Structure 1
């Protein structure tokens, strides 16, 4: 992703910015403050608290003293709300001083949202008020067009006011409908410029970088709310007319578009557009040639009489096309074949390209959505703004559960269960996945209530078990109406696999007939959704993951050794990773307890198929010669889904060293690794250096790290709040950790006390590296006290570059009480000559020390010479600079 960099703001530029602000009237400033309010709140949350308060204090717009502790006590959101609210309430001078402070802060904090707001204010200030009022009030229309627009808005309101939740199998017999304002939750939408062939399944990859995106939101990730889609674009230095929104299946692209259209039709968003036209690519698949006018009239026939007048002001028009990945036409946005006449009969590709390229209705705006994988093959440079929907923030995930269950206690119970289960939680950034999880858990809770003897063991633990439970709920619901047709499941499984193999998500009536899938069957409607109007109807699975599960299940319902082997080999070879989740499902079904969830409805699933898959996994492990880390993790993930600890132990147990250094480990990867470590239990070396393991990832893997002898967690940006996990790992009764490296993380003196407690309780640790952490502070003395105890078993201690100053050197003398210490690294601190006497004494008096590193400590040449001469008194101690 493109990085944002700041520039050096000169005094002349600040004066010019100040003069420009001074020209605005009080009413204009109020309008601008309201317009930028959401941006300002987000910017303040992301900026360094002390820096913004320092700038505000320097310009004296308001008294900032009482804000010092608010962020720590109440959180970033409350702090931002209070600060922005108080500044706006304090009048003109405070508002001007606030904007000046932000202008100066871009030097050190070039956050894209900050740069974009400042640029929009500075470069479009003269017309900004006009644009804001146009978005608020809309253009002047003739009486006839006003009536037509009102009818159009009422039609769109009727279509978009409700969110329809698909039938929850076993819970209800009908789909449920909710007000979109009641159920819609904020999604993370970020600026993104690059689409490429992805080496991973897109759900896994996006889930993997999700926490990384959340971290980057604090630095250089541009967050775009729906009301900013067509506002000033900092990257392109323009107000965008062509916008592209990307997102994995089920992440909320269509729902975001529905909310966008609803807000426009309700008068709350972008009233600059007099007319918004919303189309789905899948509904246009059967149109070989058509005109833009015909396309509009087919969807909105009541616009027929006014269409020519609507076309006269194209700058007032917005065209939304949802689901580019479902289009059978290969849209070529760089094609030379364009049209200019809205009545000209053309292919869909030509019409859409012509709108985007502004040859058709120049001045109009276009909004298109797509899956990321489709965009890897599309030229996207013609779009002014490109975005990616990242799904739910963690808070929105929990809100979803509470909304679904309606019962707060039940919702919290379900979310807590999923939060503690890394396998299930990782994909919860996807709304449709949340729906599947909530559906299954609600059924499990009902079953538990019906049978009080049931325990939590009944709940799904792997993703495969989750989907097996989901499908069993569907089948249980249909068992009430008669027996399950096993052939139907075999046929739909074959169709699902055909779709995966050929990257088909939308099926035609002919496709269904080819695979003997009878759409008149009531069971079919539980697996596939129907869209479009006869004769142009298409079908798709409720979600891509359900298609992948049914493809895997088909091999256990109708086992063919040749067919299964071919499917396994093909799935392993897909370069875009689209076979990864299929492989995880097919591996997960090798577990007999997982298969038993479906047994009441389809009988015994094939045990020979399970043995075939286990054999395939064994061979996959043994053929991992000098493999890349992604392939290793894919195999590990399949083993984790299989829940076959014996297989893991026999296949991986002999390989006791795992090096993932430099590879970005997602929380799901950490969950998978935890299963592998627990299964092997005698891993000698695990190098997780620079794996970008954050709080959630450490939470997933920490329960198994006590089984490792040599554990390297260097350069992972771990924080003080992560120390409880480190403490629990070191104090585990079966802890084997002999060497632990926490080098180059974000630990401060706050970590010293938990570390001291952990070291004092641990019996296995002998080598501890805490280098390149900011440990200086009062609490460091308590850590040093534990490391100096006669009972301390630490033999090698590294405190290089720990921000230690001369006053700490006297306390180092206490290390002479540790009879086991043989190596000490205190280089690259700030001891200077003032610290020399104590270091000298430490070297001369320590009974067991064999090596000490003291270089780069601001010593004079004479002091360094004196230190080296100590070798004559302690020849057995290596003094290293």
Structure 2
């Protein structure tokens, strides 16, 4: 049968080879063949234990739908029953979704008037589809949760009777056999439900024979068809609030189109445009929808720990956008200062929605959009509101030089409020750095800038250094980890360190500075005008040869309080030199990282002796070295000598179980001390 279907499709394509106009007309026919194959596959895959229930369900639906009841206004009998198949008149259904999408693009490109398009469309031939084609992939609107189709028409035209015929034809095996089960509900009946009810409970209320196998039914959602009839009759505002909450609680997004649609109905303009099809949307219901949106934003804004939480928050942003209600945005987000979508993929449409919503209120101070797969087109949609945020995280997105250029424009905005900007790993090069540097030279709000893991190179860092020397530059914290900096580029940077009065934190880790580059940095540290308090020099190729210059700087610098020297080949000899610098009374080191530096028990003795005089030491990192139980006694004495020590890391060394126990026992003597072994 599969081969026959493939052969039929191939013949159809061959027949249209010399007639390009017939290809579009063949698509529904091809869809028919594909749906027939799906129906055959669905019947073969149906689990044995479900077949009996399916047969019972077919019989139940057949009994419910085989009779058509007609109101007889001019006869003594008010209602008369007829066989459905004898009285059913096929409706003419036209397909307009694709036409609307095409016209939307035309309007954007040409600015054509909507009424002009409407007259043109109504004057032409509309595409007709059969009832059995309603849920084919060619006609239906697709989403992550499945496909959906909406049918609209004036009251009394026969939509409900059409639904009855669809259910009857499925029950008798005529159409839609790709669906294992069909569930049909009337909004008129939903109005009678007073309490909160789940979809499972709704199914079991009408079809109790699913009670023991409903879990199995849900395992194949592609084989389920839900029909909701009579949206214009759904009047109860209490029920719609329950329905909204229930739909929003699903995690697979199957009801998102519906929820955004309902939120859009809360917009007066949208509701008026749909009154012809759906009837008047009651004011009380509108208020219920708005209240529900408010509660959802309030509940979701402070809970973004998981990806599902962030997705729920993003959905609420879409609801606010659909409502087009400025007052609603201000009321719901007026107390929200942080929006975090870190790690959640955002489309350009999502970015446009966020831009619109943030633009309606000025309370968002922290916007975290790191690793959201935003590219230049998404950033362009966010552009109008980026300058409003104080903390802006965009790291891990493929912005490139063109994206950073857009961001630089936000930094040059006279009303820019950005204080902290995260641009790590965004594909920035020395070419794009020119625009950024131009913005840094004039911006008065930015104090923290992260440029880690961008291919700036020496030329790019040279540009950044020039900006740091500008008197208007207010940068206090700068991260330049792994940007391809070498000794050559360090010369320009060091010059800026000696003259910039605001820079207090600098991370240069992961760059190939070598001993010569560290020597330049050390010279800057000895300059009394240098205000650096935190310095990262991890994995820069530093050896014991370069440690001598660094030790000299440590012995005279009175501003440096944190120093990261991990992942360098210092060895015991290099640590001995650093220890000499730390021992000096002018040294103010409070946090020292010396992990992965080939430190042994011999080198620890010098370090412990020097650090024991640093009573202000708060944190010490000695992990991933070669320390053994020989160092336990020295470490215990050091810990007990430092009353302010808050944390010491000793993991991935060579202590025995007994050595670790001796060290851990100090935590009982020193409450508040954090020790990692």
Tell me the TM-score normalized by structure 2: 0.55
2:555 to 869, 872, 877: 872
Q: Describe the SS at the equivalent of 1:772.
A: coil
Contact residue 659 and residue 688 of structure 1 kept, 8 A: yes
- Distance in 1, matches of 2:114 and 2:360, equals 34
2:507 maps to which residue? 825
Does 2:450 align with 1:773? no
* CA 570–539 in structure 1, closer or farther in 2 if over 3 Å, else same: farther
Instruction: Work out the CA distance in 2 between the residues paired with 1:679 and 1:566.
Output: 28
Q: Report which structure shows greater RCO (CA 8 Å, sep ≥6).
A: 1
Per the TM alignment, residue 538 of structure 1 is displaced from its structure 2 partner at its CA by: 7.5
Contact 1:552 1:585 in 2 (8 A): no
**Distance in 2 separating the partners of 1:443 and 1:684:** 36
Match of 1:680, SS state, is coil
Are the aligned partners of 1:475 and 1:601 in contact in 2 as well (CA < 8 Å)?
no
Aligned to 2:470: 789
1:662 maps to 2:343: yes
Answer yes or no: is 1:648 the counterpart of 2:329.
Answer: yes
Say if 1:709 and 1:737, in contact at 8 Å, map to a contact too: yes
CA contact (8 A) 1:476 1:601 kept: no
Question: Residues 779 and 281 (structure 1 numbering): CA distance in 2 closer, same or farther, change over 3 Å?
Answer: closer
Residues 288-308 of structure 1, C-alpha deviations (whole Å, 9 max, x = no match): xxxxxxxxxxxxxxxxxxxxx
Structure 2: gaps (5+ residues): 1-5, 55-94, 124-142, 179-186, 188-226, 565-677
Residues 590, 754 of structure 1: alpha-carbon distance in 2 compared, 3 angstrom cutoff: same
Residues 778, 579 of structure 1: CA spacing in aligned structure 2 closer, same or farther, 3 A cutoff? same
Mapped pair 1:618 → 2:258: no
**Residue of 320, 323, 330 corresponding to 2:42:** 330
- What's the offset of the Cα at 1:156? 5.9
**1:213-265 deviations in whole A, cap 9, x for unaligned?**
xxxxxxxxxxxxxxxxxxxxxxxxxxxxxxxxxxxxxxxxx95995xxxxxxx
Are the structure 2 counterparts of residues 595 and 564 from structure 1 closer, same or farther at C-alpha, using a change threshold of 3 Å? same
Is 1:439 the equivalent of 2:103?
Answer: yes
Give the structure 2 partner of residue 518 of structure 1. 158
Alpha-carbon spacing, 1:592–1:155, altered in 2? closer, same or farther (3 Å): closer
Q: Distance in 2 between matches of 1:654 and 1:150?
A: 63
Q: 1:56-115 deviations in whole A, cap 9, x for unaligned?
A: xxxxxxxxxxxxxxxxxxxxxxxxxxxxxxxxxxxxxxxxxxxxxxxxxxxxxxxxxxxx
Larger radius of gyration: 2
Please say if residues 405 and 432 of structure 2, whose CA atoms lie closer than 8 Å, have aligned partners that are also in contact: no
Residues 708 and 255 (structure 1 numbering): CA distance in 2 closer, same or farther, change over 3 Å?
A: farther
Structure 1 residue corresponding to 2:33, chosen from 254, 276, 280: 280
Cα distance in 2 for partners of 1:446, 1:603 equals: 33
Deviations 1:1-56 (A, max 9, x none): xxxxxxxxxxxxxxxxxxxxxxxxxxxxxxxxxxxxxxxxxxxxxxxxxxxxxxxx
> Shift of residue 623 of structure 1?
3.1
Q: 1:19-38 alignment to 2 at 5 Å?
A: none
**Counterpart-to-counterpart distance in 1, 2:101 and 2:544:** 67
- Contact kept, 8 Å, 2:442 with 2:473, in 1: the verdict is no
Aligned-residue offset at 1:442: 5.5
Residues 676 and 503 (structure 1 numbering): CA distance in 2 closer, same or farther, change over 3 Å?
Answer: closer
The answer for the alignment partner of 2:420 in structure 1 is 739
Please give the alpha-carbon distance, in whole angstroms, between the structure 1 residues aligned to 2:252 and 2:414: 43
Aligned equivalent of 1:296:
none
Report the Cα distance in structure 2 between the residues aligned to 1:586 and 1:692, rounded to whole angstroms. Answer: 29
Deviations 1:651-698 (A, max 9, x none): 222121122222223333322222232223232222222222223332
Give the 5 Å matches for 1:462-861.
518=158, 559-598=235-274, 605-624=281-300, 626=303, 628-815=309-496, 816-845=498-527, 846-861=529-544
In 1: Cα distance, 2:111 partner to 2:559 partner: 70
C-alpha displacement of 1:599 = 5.4
Change (3 A) 1:615 1:873: same
CA distance in 1, matches of 2:100, 2:176: 23
* C-alpha deviation, 1:811, in angstroms: 0.8
* SS of alignment partner, residue 794 of structure 1: coil
CA distance in 1, matches of 2:517, 2:10: 77
Secondary structure at 2:42's aligned position in 1? coil
SS in 2 for 1:761: coil
In the alignment, the residues of structure 1 paired with residue 265 and residue 467 of structure 2 have an alpha-carbon distance, to the nearest angstrom, of 50
Shift of 1:335: 7.6
Q: CA deviation at 1:854?
A: 2.3
Matches of 1:695 and 1:443, distance apart in 2 = 24
Give the drift of 1:810: 1.5
The structure-2 alpha-carbon separation of the partners of 1:702 and 1:810, relative to structure 1 and needing over 3 Å to count, comes to same
Q: In structure 2, do the counterparts of structure 1 residues 662 and 874 end up closer, same or farther at CA, with 3 Å as the change threshold?
A: same
Give 1:740 shift: 0.4
Q: 1:476 to 1:809 in 2, by over 3 A?
A: closer
Deviation at 1:642, TM superposition (A): 0.9
| Deviation, structure 1 residue 807 | 0.9
Relative to structure 1, the CA distance from residue 706 to residue 333 in structure 2 (aligned partners, 3 Å threshold; closer, same or farther) is same
Question: C-alpha offsets along residues 322-373 of structure 1, whole Å, 9 cap, x if unaligned?
Answer: xx3xx49834449899xxxxxxxxxxx9xxxxxxxxxxxxxxxxxxxxxxxx
Q: What CA distance in whole angstroms lies between the structure 2 residues aligned with 1:614 and 1:620? A: 10
Give the conservation status (yes or no) of the 8 Å contact 1:557–1:605: no
Partners of 2:414 and 2:369 lie apart in 1 by: 23
How big is the shift at 1:436? Answer: 2.4
In 2: Cα distance, 1:474 partner to 1:738 partner = 52
CA distance in 2, matches of 1:151, 1:857: 67
Q: CA RMSD in A?
A: 5.0
Given that 2:365 and 2:390 are in contact with CA atoms closer than 8 Å, whether structure 1 keeps it comes out as yes
